[in-house]
Amino acid sequence: MKVLITGGAGYIGTVLTKHLVQYPEIDEIVIYDNLSRKNSNLFLGDRLPNAEKVELVVGDILDLRKLNKILSDVDVVFHLAARVSTPFANVDADFHEQVNHWGTSELVSAVEESNVEKFIFTSSTSVYGASDGLIDENQEPNPKTFYGISKYRGEEHVKRLQKKRNALILRCANVYGYSRSMRFDAVINRFMFDANFTNRIQIHGNGKQNRAFVHVNVLIRALIGCLLNDVPSGIYNVVDKNLQILDIVDILKEIYPTLEFIFVNQHLELRQMQVDRNSVLRNYIDFENTFSLKDELLEFKERFSF
């Protein structure tokens, strides 16, 4: 089986690659990435097991000619490439549209002309916007940010494939946890960095807002489960836990007892989102998390060099 991972050198793609090379079913992995984040961590450090399976192709998601060429003998596509800008998801609308919307459109067009059998797209729970109740896959999307809007428009192109191929749309919660190619703009990752190195974190709003989260390793299990199992085409939420920001702060205070925290715009009540973790996807694969948030963050802490 030959697998293509767009954005494969990024935060999620680096962890996915590390796991995929260990599966005998996978003969070849193509990392397709424009390296725009200037992150070279996938290529350094300990050598991957079965490293001969992995190939890097430097290319842009908007380059239809190159996509057509590289997809000629690919069996499965993981589409991870995206413009992600948490917490500034409501700036730079054109860039979000180019990558998340039109980039996905170009990739889908190339897949339609190929022999790709399965297409797995990592969308976002941001497409739901906000809700006071518990959200499931039946919730009508109502994105509130440029990021959420662009991901939802990208989904519309993937839906075209569902009439012809096995095409899965995974709406992922806010991803956190260690990766060699770290992102420190997501809330839990940012908190961990600041707590470890400055002993102070900033909380936007009153901290009572709820968010849906998924650990990167749990997401990887879901992605690989979708690859290796018969999961019908459709839209699935990938959520591990729902947390209030102040709940995260309480765990951090246990790990860093002298931690200081300050509120920014404390008078603001920021938007709420809680997503039902009992996704329809769990009917087909198991991606249950057996670790507590504290255990995960303690493991994360051990990854810091000092």
DSSP state of 280: G
Q: Which two structure tokens, joined as six digits, stand for 255?
A: 């790990």
Query: Cα torsion for 133, 134, 136, 142, to the nearest 10°?
Result: 40
In angstroms, rounded to a whole number, what is the distance separating the alpha carbons of residues 45 and 116? 32
The DSSP annotation for 75-102 comes to: SEEEE------TT-TTS-HHHHIIIIII
23-32 pLDDT per residue, tens: 999 999 999 9
Cβ within 8 Å of residue 210, ≥6 positions away: 242, 243, 244, 272, 273, 274
pLDDT band at 268; cut points 50, 70, 90: confident
Q: Are 6 and 107 in contact (CB under 8 A)?
A: yes
Nearest one of 231, 220, 208, 128 to 171, comparing CA atoms: 128
Cβ within 8 Å of residue 9, ≥6 positions away: 31, 33, 35, 37, 39, 40, 42, 43, 56, 181
- Class (C level, CATH) for 2-174+213-239+276-288: alpha beta
In angstroms, rounded to a whole number, what is the distance separating the alpha carbons of residues 66 and 88? 31
Cβ within 8 Å of residue 38, ≥6 positions away: none
What is the C-alpha radius of gyration for the chain, rounded to an integer number of angstroms?
19
Residue with tokens 């002309």: 113
Angle at 7 between CA 49 and CA 65, to 5 degrees: 115
Nearest one of 58, 56, 59, 4 to 27, comparing CA atoms: 4
67-89 pLDDT per residue, tens: 999 999 999 999 999 988 654 44
Please give the pLDDT value at position 86. 52
Q: State yes or no: pLDDT of 64 exceeds 70.
A: yes
177-204 pLDDT per residue, tens: 999 999 999 999 999 999 999 999 999 9
Please give the pLDDT value at position 135. 95
Task: Return the domain boundaries, the chain.
Answer: 2-174+213-239+276-288
The CB-side HSE value for 28 (13 A sphere, CA atoms) comes to: 12
Helix (H, G, I), strand (E, B) or coil at 174: strand
In angstroms, rounded to a whole number, what is the distance separating the alpha carbons of residues 11 and 13? 6
Which residues, listed in sequence order, are joined to residue 229 by a DSSP beta bridge?
A: none
Please give the pLDDT value at position 109. 95
- Minimum mean pLDDT among 28-42, 105-119, 215-229: which range? 28-42
Mean pLDDT, rounded, for 141-170: 95
